Structure 1
């Protein structure tokens, strides 16, 4: 990965971060942020799926040890899954196979998100893509597990993780002021990705667990600003 050299780009990146810091000092309450969060379809679609999964899981019963092991394993690998999706799906470079363009809605919307990180609707998983994902996940829960109870445990866990991802990603892009050190670390990590260099800091819900594993968590002071952070693949 390249590190473009430009003092003007560094100054611009610092200015954007400083503007965000000033907005943060003005503050946004958590309640205000949550009310805006609920105005968008993604949290509702994931939340309804979560409630259906929870209701079904309680009705089915049949609790076994694997109902604890599956969520634990999913939680452990989620930062890696998040990193892989961000790098390979969201940052997909558009390609053509003959006359056919290969470019998913997720990748297109993510490029728009980088252009305007404060555009709230672009923060969320696109509704059409999310609807398909929900259908696929429900099918997996029903058909891919040795018992229905375990499949519902999987569906319940993945929707909880999805809702946590949507909330965290949304909150980072608002003017809500970080209160705790853990959230501030997560906030800084993702802001560096958008305003410093898009080739690093791919995790969203953690402060760089998978980034450290895959070598994409450098010292920000040693990374120069990228000219394509706001316009992916333009170089």
Structure 2
């Protein structure tokens, strides 16, 4: 099918999915998730605690997402003697704000994704009272990882919202990128932690930020009530 035909009919989910699976981090999460599901089934030992884990993660994940976005992704480079503290995730996220339509910058950097999977495995095997319960945690967290990569990627494509939930995700994340980077930090969980942390204003009351595409630039003036980092 020609590019002009593609443009006329608009980007479909199938079109978006084909591009999504060309990138390594979704494959990493899916392979790890598949291994975790197999291990969870083999271990067995299903108990009531396994049913509680998904609900606990659902309650905590919006705040985890908010915290990572504010304090890790929006980390402001700091000098410690002769060393500049500027993690890979923060550097890549600044590049992502500069070029939000660059699909290669949308995904979690592979090194960081590997680190996240290793950390989740360590937590699952060390911090839970039962191996089965830890593997339940791992399955749910890796599912969240796949969902995060897909939602974040899709928002930065030309795919148009067709459901109420996705329309909210699409709207809020684009406000973060194109209106004011000091608000709307939820990606897959828009409005949840943001409302609690007071970073979910009425867009009509917020001025456009001059640094939405250039994080931490000189002359960065935050609006009243913006998150201090």
Q: TM-score w.r.t. structure 1 length?
A: 0.88
* 1:101 matched residue in structure 2: 84
* 1:21 matched residue in structure 2: none
Question: How many residue pairs end up in the alignment?
Answer: 213
* 1:6 matched residue in structure 2: none
Write the distance in 2 (CA, Å) between the matches of 1:144 and 1:45: 23
Equivalence map 1:144-183=2 (5 Å): 144-183=127-166
CA RMSD of aligned residues (A): 1.5
**Highest relative contact order (Cα 8 Å, sep 6+), 1 or 2?**
1
* 2:95 matched residue in structure 1: 112
Q: TM-score w.r.t. structure 2 length?
A: 0.90
* 1:12 matched residue in structure 2: none
Equivalence map 1:194-213=2 (5 Å): 194-213=177-196
**CA displacement at 1:145 relative to structure 2:** 1.3
8 Å contact from structure 1 (residues 25, 177) kept in 2: no
Gaps of 5+ in 1: 1-23
Of 117, 121, 137, 1:134 maps to: 117
* 1:59 matched residue in structure 2: 42
Write the distance in 1 (CA, Å) between the matches of 2:197 and 2:161: 26
**Which aligned segments of 4 or more residues in structure 1 are displaced greater than 4 angstroms?**
none
Give CA-to-partner distance per residue, 1:93-130, whole Å, 9 cap, x none. Answer: 00011111111111000000000000001101100111
Give CA-to-partner distance per residue, 1:190-235, whole Å, 9 cap, x none. Answer: 0000000000100011231111111111111111111100000002
* 2:226 matched residue in structure 1: none
Matched, 1:230 2:207: no
* 2:59 matched residue in structure 1: 76
**CA displacement at 1:183 relative to structure 2:** 0.8
Matched, 1:44 2:19: no
8 Å contact from structure 1 (residues 198, 226) kept in 2: yes
Write the distance in 1 (CA, Å) between the matches of 2:42 and 2:26: 24
Of 36, 60, 72, 1:89 maps to: 72
Write the distance in 1 (CA, Å) between the matches of 2:105 and 2:78: 22
8 Å contact from structure 1 (residues 114, 229) kept in 2: yes
Write the distance in 1 (CA, Å) between the matches of 2:89 and 2:105: 10
* 1:32 matched residue in structure 2: 15
**Structure with higher helix content:** 1
Write the distance in 2 (CA, Å) between the matches of 1:140 and 1:128: 18
Write the distance in 1 (CA, Å) between the matches of 2:117 and 2:48: 26
